[in-house]
């Protein structure tokens, strides 16, 4: 028997050596401790300190407070320490145990006497059997030690795997927390950006509204100046002989007298009365009547016709063209008598005419042969005159 197997053994674990063990040796101690506690639990109830250590996962006993708890238990509980030492390799056992006082051992047996009075042959056979038994015992011991070493290595590998798994789980948990924090910060950043953009949209919308109000105010001032000039021109020049314009009731659309048929020259004369706002679909008119000219020539031709009609008809013409074309100005003749608008990029003349109709409550006439545009402005209460009737009126 080994010295730890002897009932009178006084081996004790050195707490300092136990606390400073390398990871592999500490894993071997934990394996032996778990096995000793399991064996003791089968025969007797564990003490609270033993149950506290035995009930913990092995990974929790590798370091920190768990390791300190194991050291305290083994240095305080001699019987448990003895059971653990029985399950550890000899080299580790020597490392863990403190030096023992040397005890006297019995001397060798006297080989000079007879053995039970037997013959020499019987003594030789007994010795042979003893040697065979010792050899068999040693062989089985070596096998047991090999199996135990393999089991310990497997247990240490399992403990290392569990420790690695616990560390991986801790890292994964930390990464998950960081990911959640990053997601929350991203949501906060998106919310801040959304609020900033909403504020910017509100500010730009207000600026556009202010610009529109300023533009409408400027247009109103121009219309007032044009009407004043028209009144001065009307008082200085004799009025041409024209059929009297019938009095039309207020409201949109204009209600013509029963004797005037819509779409006729009489209807155009009645709608194009003094002070009437006339919105003209520019290229729709010019392409119907002067498609032989280039775009600038078409604009000049239409502007000339409208300017000539202002003193006699006393209308307020506004010509709308699609986009500001290259070289697309207007003659000085029409600067004070006719308003010309070029639509900005992305807006058609049809859309601008619809917006102009909706922007005023006064009676308004739209000149176009475009049926779709006529339907859109008619839905807002505008009167519509075809291009032929309008050109016939401004040529008079």
Mind listing the pLDDT tens digit for each residue in 44-81? 888 888 888 888 888 888 888 888 889 888 888 888 88
Looking at the structure, tell me whether residues 14 and 150 fall in a common domain.
Answer: yes
Looking at the structure, tell me whether residues 146 and 274 fall in a common domain.
Answer: no
Of the residues 119, 138, 167, the one at which a domain ends? 167
CB 368 within 8 A of CB 374: yes
Of the residues 167, 187, 218, the one at which a domain ends? 167
Looking at the structure, tell me whether residues 389 and 280 fall in a common domain.
Answer: yes
Looking at the structure, tell me whether residues 145 and 20 fall in a common domain.
Answer: yes
Looking at the structure, tell me whether residues 162 and 269 fall in a common domain.
Answer: no
Distance from chain centroid for Cα 183: 8
Residue 310: inside a domain: yes
Q: Which two tokens stand for residue 366?
A: 């739209």
Q: Are strands 364-367 and 277-281 parallel, antiparallel or unpaired?
A: parallel
Residue 197: inside a domain: no
Please provide residue 152's backbone torsions phi and psi, each rounded to the nearest 5 degrees. Answer: -65, -40
Crossing angle for the helix pair 387-394 and 295-313, to the nearest 10 degrees? 60
CB 32 within 8 A of CB 84: yes
* Structural domain of 162: 3-99+128-167
Looking at the structure, tell me whether residues 149 and 271 fall in a common domain.
Answer: no
CATH code, domain carrying 290: 3.40.50
Mind listing the pLDDT tens digit for each residue in 359-379? 888 999 999 999 999 999 999
Looking at the structure, tell me whether residues 7 and 154 fall in a common domain.
Answer: yes
- Name residues whose C-beta falls within 8 Å of residue 319's C-beta, 6 or more positions apart in sequence: 280, 282, 299, 302, 303, 306, 338, 339, 340, 341
Of the residues 167, 195, 221, the one at which a domain ends? 167
Looking at the structure, tell me whether residues 157 and 273 fall in a common domain.
Answer: no
Q: Give the integer Cα–Cα distance in Å for 182 and 351.
A: 47
Using 70 as the pLDDT threshold, list the residues of the chain that sit under it: 1-11, 98-118, 230, 234-251, 324-336, 396
Residue 199: inside a domain: no
Looking at the structure, tell me whether residues 285 and 159 fall in a common domain.
Answer: no
SS3 263: coil
Domain count within the chain: 2
Residue 222: inside a domain: no
Residue 296: inside a domain: yes
Residue 213: inside a domain: no
Alpha carbon of 385 to those of 267, 268, 285, 303: distances in Å? 9, 7, 11, 18
Question: Can you give the pLDDT at residue 113?
Answer: 45
Residue 234: inside a domain: no
Residue 233: inside a domain: no
Looking at the structure, tell me whether residues 162 and 299 fall in a common domain.
Answer: no
E strand or H helix at 365:
strand 364-367
């Amino acid at each position: 028997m080994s010295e730890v197997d002897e009932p009178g053994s006084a081996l004790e674990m050195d707490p300092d050596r136990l606390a400073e063990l390398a990871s592999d040796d500490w894993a071997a101690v934990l394996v032996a401790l778990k096995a000793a506690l399991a064996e003791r639990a089968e025969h007797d109830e564990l003490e609270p300190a033993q149950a506290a250590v035995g009930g913990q996962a092995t990974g929790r006993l590798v370091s920190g407070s768990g390791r300190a708890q194991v050291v305290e238990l083994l240095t305080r509980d001699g019987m448990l320490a003895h059971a653990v030492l029985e399950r550890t390799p000899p080299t580790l056992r020597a490392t863990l145990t403190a030096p023992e006082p040397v005890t006297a051992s019995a001397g060798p047996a006297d080989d000079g006497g007879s053995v039970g009075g037997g013959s020499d042959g019987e003594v030789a056979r007994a010795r042979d059997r003893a040697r065979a038994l010792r050899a068999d015992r040693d062989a089985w011991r070596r096998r047991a030690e090999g199996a135990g070493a393999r089991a310990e290595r497997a247990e240490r590998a399992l403990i290392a795997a569990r420790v690695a798994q616990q560390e991986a789980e801790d890292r994964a948990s930390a990464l998950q927390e960081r990911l959640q924090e990053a997601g929350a910060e991203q949501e906060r950043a998106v919310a801040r950006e959304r609020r900033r953009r909403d504020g910017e949209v509100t500010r730009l919308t207000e600026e556009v509204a202010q610009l529109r109000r300023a533009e409408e105010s400027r247009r109103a001032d121009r219309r007032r100046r044009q009407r004043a000039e028209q009144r001065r021109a009307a008082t200085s020049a004799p009025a041409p002989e024209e059929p009297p314009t019938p009095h039309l009731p207020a409201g949109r659309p204009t209600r013509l007298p029963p004797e005037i048929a819509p779409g006729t020259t009489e209807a155009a004369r009645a709608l194009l009365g003094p002070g009437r706002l006339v919105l003209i679909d520019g290229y729709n008119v010019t392409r119907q009547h002067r498609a032989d000219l280039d775009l600038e020539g078409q604009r000049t031709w239409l502007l000339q016709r409208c300017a000539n009609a202002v003193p006699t008809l006393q209308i307020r013409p506004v010509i709308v063209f699609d986009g500001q074309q290259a070289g697309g100005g207007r003659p000085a003749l029409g600067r004070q008598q006719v308003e010309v608008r070029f639509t900005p990029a992305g807006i058609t003349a049809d859309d601008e005419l619809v917006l102009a109709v909706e922007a005023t409550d006064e009676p308004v006439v739209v000149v176009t042969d475009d049926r779709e545009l006529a339907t859109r402005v008619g839905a807002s209460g505008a009167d519509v005159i075809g291009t032929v009737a309008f050109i016939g009126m401004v040529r008079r």
